[in-house]
Chain A
Amino acid sequence: MSESEHAANQAAKYWWAKMRILLGILVVWFTVSFGCGIIFRDWMDVNMPKVGNAPFGFWMAQQGSIICFVLLLVVYNFMMNRLDEKYDFDEKGEDA
């Protein structure tokens, strides 16, 4: 395999690995906000354990989803940095 083919191959693999991470992040993102906070909110208010004294769906909409968003970005940072390093696309030496 020539060098340019190898590079193209690496880039394609990196692309799909990245897409998997993005998809995972976006599925969780949709579930905690639109899912818990809006679509299934009334069901969750009734059927899920309360958070303190707040109904679950209501709490997810006003507090839980925001906490999840922050955690999602922390995970995203961690996974993307690891992926970049694995494929040697990271920015070592460019920090200066």
Chain B
Amino acid sequence: MSQGFWNGFFIVLSFAVYIVIAIRSRAGSTKEYYTAGSGVSPFANGMATAADWMSAATFISMAGGIAVAGYDASRFLMGWTGGFVLLTTLMVPYLRKFGKSTVPDFLGDRFYSKAARLVGVICAIFICMTYIMGQMRGVGVVFSNLFELSIPAGVIIGAGIVFFYAGLGGMKGITYTQVAQYCVMAFAYTIPAIFAALTLTGNVVPQLGLIGNAVEGGTPILEKINNINTELGFSEYTQGSLSKMNMFFITAALMIGTAGLPHVIVRFFTVKNVKSVRQSACWTLAFIAVIYLTAPAVGVFARINLIEKLHNTEYANAPAWFSKFETTGQMTFEDKNGDGKIQYFGPGADQPNELTYGTDIMVMASPYMANLSPWIIGLLMAGCIAAALSTAAGLLLVISTSISHDLMKKIINPDLTDKQEVTYARLASLGALVVAVYFGINPPSAFVAKTVAFAFGLAASSFFPTLLMGIFSKRMNKWGAICGMVAGIAFTLIYIVYFQFLGGTPEQYLYGITPEGIGFIGMIINFVVAFLVCLVTPKPPVEIQAMVENIHIPRGAGAASDH
């Protein structure tokens, strides 16, 4: 059977499943639209959260990023999993006990002010918009590969599908679709990895293959890739080249950002009590680990395959998949020395490099490179789309509920009926998608994971510190919280925009910190400003202090959400 058949088969099959689920679980009330009626089981919510969490960036770009950066890419691996430890121990059990449906809801009530709620809404929209751009780009990349469309056409098709089930179905529709999407993703990611591990290392388990020996020659696989890297003028694979300080800051920003991402936090409002929240968070991380532990193996295998297949190969004899990726512009070859061969060199080599490729392409190209059967490639495509759609849907929900619930209902017009609120939510998700499509077509940064990394910086500098102080400090008042959030996010945003859009150069970095790691400094600024402002302003009212005590006692969460 042809590649086209298998691609179509898996995509159509998975879409049919999602659509059936979405229609069956359409939301009727705001309660169902926002939190799926708080009746989801911990196990199902764990799967849904894992799918929500693992974005197009994780699925498509991360292994490619690891293949290119080696040890340096560990910042993504640790950052995007370690954050769940913070999220589970410091955030979600207490926010669930509080029992409202959005993150700005908590800010507005805990800091007893509409201003805090408004700042929360603005931060949430900023974070989710930044993040969703990366997703739409990811959808575009997959569709363009699949149907040989242009990327803009792919982005628009993806947006249409997301709107169909996220905008209409709300949290209830999203949750059960995400469960299905996680299953597709897990299979799509691990099966090609298993085959690649078998061919390269003779080991069925990719993680064991990574620390095992190569079939050819019997050298350890990591030694082999280190040798290849050194020979071609790259830094050693297991050493990396990023400074220790930047590794620390970026990892920290990603972890803290993870714990402050509104679309992940709200997923835990869908289970029934505090105990289920903890259990569900544990499942989530376990499901995520399945893919994150496989990614380093995929990265190494893909890099070895790519170099062995292309380096020093006559252009005329290049494998068929090479011309496929050349047509879509994701791999390019320029014969600089005119010998008709493709040569791939790193910055340390004395010969010019003739091959360039996007890191986004590594995962999708790896089954071709390993000569895997067409059905595996079809499955992988379905997985890529599932990853991008599930995250985009989760983000879209936060944007739309922030606007309909927090802005329209709680700030502008408290008389909105339930039905009107849901209508506003749907309109808001349409508006947000239009913006996301625009930026998906004209991305501010070419590398999907990089765009996403900024969302983490923004979350780390705004929500995480403010939520943490709101939960653990009775003394923190509205002035401290608002000033802290504004200072933190403004600092981070200015730093990122300056270096990303206004032509700042690496020499101007503050103490050499890259824009990806600046969220950590933003968080410290948030803490310091909040603390100082809080010292000179009055204590919060007694009932707020009682509320802080109450959210630490698990009992009663079920009842609290039933009002």
Chain A residues close to B by CB (< 8 Å): 11, 14-15, 18, 22, 25-26, 29, 33-34, 37-39, 41, 45, 51-55, 58-59, 61-63, 65-67, 69-70, 72-74, 76-77, 80-81, 84, 89-91, 94-95
Instruction: Give residues of chain B (222-247) contacting chain A, Cβ–Cβ below 8 Å.
Output: 222-223, 238, 244, 247
Distance in angstroms between the alpha carbons of A29 and B212 in the assembled complex: 27
Given contacts A53-B211, A77-B279, contact A63 B296 (CB under 8 A): yes
What are 10 A-B contacts defined by CB distance under 8 Å? A33-B255, A59-B211, A62-B71, A62-B77, A69-B85, A76-B88, A89-B553, A91-B556, A94-B555, A94-B558
B90 at the interface (CB under 8 A from A): yes
Q: Say yes or no: B82 contacts A84, CB within 8 Å.
A: no
CB <8 Å contact, A69 and B81: yes
Please state if A67 and B293 are interface contacts (CB–CB under 8 Å). yes
CB 8 Å contact bits of B167-211 with A (1 = contact, 0 = none): 000000000000000000000000000000000000000011011
User: Nearest Cβ in chain B — how far from A59, in angstroms?
Assistant: 7
**What is the distance, in angstroms, from B444's C-beta to the closest C-beta of chain A?**
28
| Known interface pairs A38-B247, A59-B211, A70-B285; 17 further A-B residue pairs with C-beta atoms within 8 A, sorted by A's residue number | A18-B552, A26-B85, A38-B244, A51-B211, A53-B213, A53-B220, A53-B221, A65-B78, A66-B292, A69-B81, A69-B82, A72-B85, A77-B282, A84-B275, A91-B275, A94-B556, A95-B272
Are the C-beta atoms of A90 and B275 separated by less than 8 Å? yes
Q: Tell me if A25 and B248 are in contact (CB < 8 A).
A: no
Taking a contact as CB atoms under 8 Å apart, the answer to whether B251 and A53 are in contact is no
B434 at the interface (CB under 8 A from A): no
Residues of B within 8 A of A15 (CB): 552
* Structural contact, B238 and A53, CB atoms closer than 8 A: no
- A38 to B212 alpha-carbon distance, docked (Å): 23
Residue interface mask B545-562, A partner, CB < 8 A = 1:
000010011111111000
Q: What residue in chain A is nearest B210 (Cβ atoms)?
A: A54
Q: How far is the CB of A36 from chain B (nearest CB, A)?
A: 10
Interface contact B71-A69, CB-CB below 8 Å: no
Q: Does B273 contact A (CB under 8 A)?
A: yes
**A62 and B296 in contact (CB under 8 A), knowing A34-B251, A54-B238, A91-B275?**
yes
Q: Which residues of B are found within 8 Å of A69, using beta-carbon distances? A: 81-82, 84-85, 285, 289
Assess whether B281 is interfacial by the CB under 8 Å rule.
yes
A63 to B23 alpha-carbon distance, docked (Å): 39
Interchain residue pairs A-B with the least CB separation, the first 3: A52-B211, A53-B220, A61-B74
Residues of B at under 8 Å CB distance from A? Answer: 66, 71, 74, 77-78, 81-82, 84-86, 88-90, 207-208, 210-213, 220-223, 238, 244, 247-248, 251-252, 255, 272-275, 278-279, 281-282, 285-286, 289, 292-293, 296, 549, 552-559
Once bound together, how far apart are the Cα atoms of A67 and B293, in whole Å? 8
The CA of A45 and the CA of B222, in the complex, are separated in Å by: 13
- Give the chain A neighbours of B281 by CB distance below 8 A: 73
Q: Is the CB of B84 within 8 A of A73?
A: yes
In the assembled complex, the Cα of A90 lies from the Cα of B279 at a distance in Å of 14
In the assembled complex, the CB of A23 is this many whole angstroms from the nearest CB of chain B, namely 10
Residue from A18, A66, A94 within 8 A of B289 (CB atoms): A66
Q: Give Cα A69 to B81, complex, Å.
A: 7
Check if B554 sits within 8 Å of A74, measured CB to CB: no
Contacts of A73 in B (CB 8 A): 84-85, 88, 278, 281-282, 285
Rounded to whole Å, the gap between the CB of B85 and the closest CB of chain A is: 5
Cβ contact within 8 Å between B554 and A89: yes
Please report the C-alpha to C-alpha distance between residue A53 and residue B218 in the assembled complex, in whole angstroms.
12
Residues of A close to B208: CB separation below 8 A:
52
Q: Which of B252, B296, B555 contacts A89 (CB 8 A)?
A: B555
Of the listed residues A15, A18, A51, A70, the one surrounded by the most CB atoms of chain B closer than 10 A to its CB is A70
How many angstroms between the C-alpha atoms of A58 and B221 in the bound complex? 14
Q: Find the B residue at minimum CB distance from A25.
A: B89
Contact of A67 among B86, B223, B289 (CB under 8 A): B289
A33 to B86, CA, bound (A): 13
What's the nearest-Cβ distance from chain A to residue B190, in Å?
15
- In the complex, are the beta carbons of A33 and B248 less than 8 A apart? no
By a CB distance below 8 angstroms, the chain B residues around A89 are 553-555
Q: Is the CB of A80 within 8 A of B278?
A: yes
A55 CB contacts on chain B under 8 angstroms = 222, 238
Question: Which A residues touch B78, using CB under 8 A?
Answer: 33, 37, 61, 65-66
CB contacts (< 8 Å) of B285 on chain A: these are 69-70, 73
**Would A38 and B220 be within 8 Å (CB), given that A33-B78, A69-B82 are in contact?**
no
Q: Is the CB of B238 within 8 A of A37?
A: no
* Given A63-B296, A95-B273: A29 and B74 interface contact (C-beta under 8 Å): no
Chain A residues lying within 8 Å of B558, measured Cβ to Cβ, are 91, 94-95
- In the complex, chain A residues whose CB is within 8 Å of the CB of B90: 22
CB distance from A5 to the nearest CB of B (A): 14
Contact pick for B554, options A45, A62, A91, CB 8 Å:
A91
Of the candidates A29, A55, A61, A76, the one having the most CB atoms from chain B within 10 angstroms of its own CB is A61
The reply to whether A38 and B251 contact each other, CB–CB distance below 8 Å, is: yes
A61 vs B250: C-alpha distance when bound (angstroms) = 14
A38 touches B248 (CB 8 A): yes
A59 to B208, CA, bound (A): 11
Nearest neighbor of A62 in chain B, beta-carbon distance: B296
Contacts of B282 on A, CB cut-off 8 Å?
Answer: 70, 73-74, 76-77
Q: Is the CB of A25 within 8 A of B275?
A: no
Q: Is the CB of B251 within 8 A of A63?
A: no
B294 nearest CB across to chain A (Å) = 10
